[in-house]
Amino acid sequence: MARLKDQYKTDIVPKLKERYGIDNLNALPQLRKIVVNRGVGKAIENSKRIDEATRELADITGQWPAQTRAKTSIATFRLREGMAIGCKVTLRNRRMYEFLDRLISVAIPRIRDFRGLSPTAFDGRGNYSMGLQDQLVFPEIRIDRAEFMQGMNICFVFDNSDDEKSHYLMSEFGFPFKKPKEK
């Protein structure tokens, strides 16, 4: 079993029950999926970039990503309908918890000039989104093999939650949020 999944079941569930007064396990907030997305706008000029981004995302997540394609043509950007412009992967269950563990314990501490994650990046329904500037914070990516610097968006989707419950749950997992400024 993944370390964070075990931590959720043994440590966090009792705390959630006590804090929110919810006895039903199915009504407790829980992490449902993680979506990792990479938009590769430069793929219009160099098709090698989309292949490289897809391979790197597969190395990082342990699951082969789906390529996203343009829905409409935009002449100004030299973009044609159906052209590959990004890749994404949806992680659930074991792979989700393993990725989350690597993100919290390895990747986030390697971010240069890191001052904490924004506590306001929730969408009002409890889901949280964050962005990374480059892929080199993950140890799976070798610096000498990385040809392009490309960031990614990571979205955490929760069930039975609101912003406050999701913030508490993520804090219990060990997310390093910025501390609110004191007056």
CATH number of the structural domain spanning residue 139 = 3.30.1440.10
Examine residue 178 and state whether it is found in any structural domain, yes or no.
no
User: By mean pLDDT, which of 6-20, 52-66, 126-140 is the weakest?
Assistant: 126-140
Neighbours of 87 (CB within 10 A): 25
- Number of compact structural domains in the chain: 1
Could you tell me if 69 and 84 are in contact, meaning their C-beta atoms sit under 8 angstroms apart?
yes
Q: How far is CA 124 from CA 20, 28, 109, 169, in A?
A: 18, 17, 27, 15
Confidence band, pLDDT 50/70/90 cuts, at residue 183: low
Examine residue 182 and state whether it is found in any structural domain, yes or no.
no
Q: Is pLDDT of 78 > 80?
A: no
Q: Which domain holds residue 86?
A: 3-173
Examine residue 164 and state whether it is found in any structural domain, yes or no.
yes
pLDDT in tens, 18-50: 888 888 888 888 889 999 988 776 655 667 777
- Phi and psi of 53, rounded to 5°? -65, -40
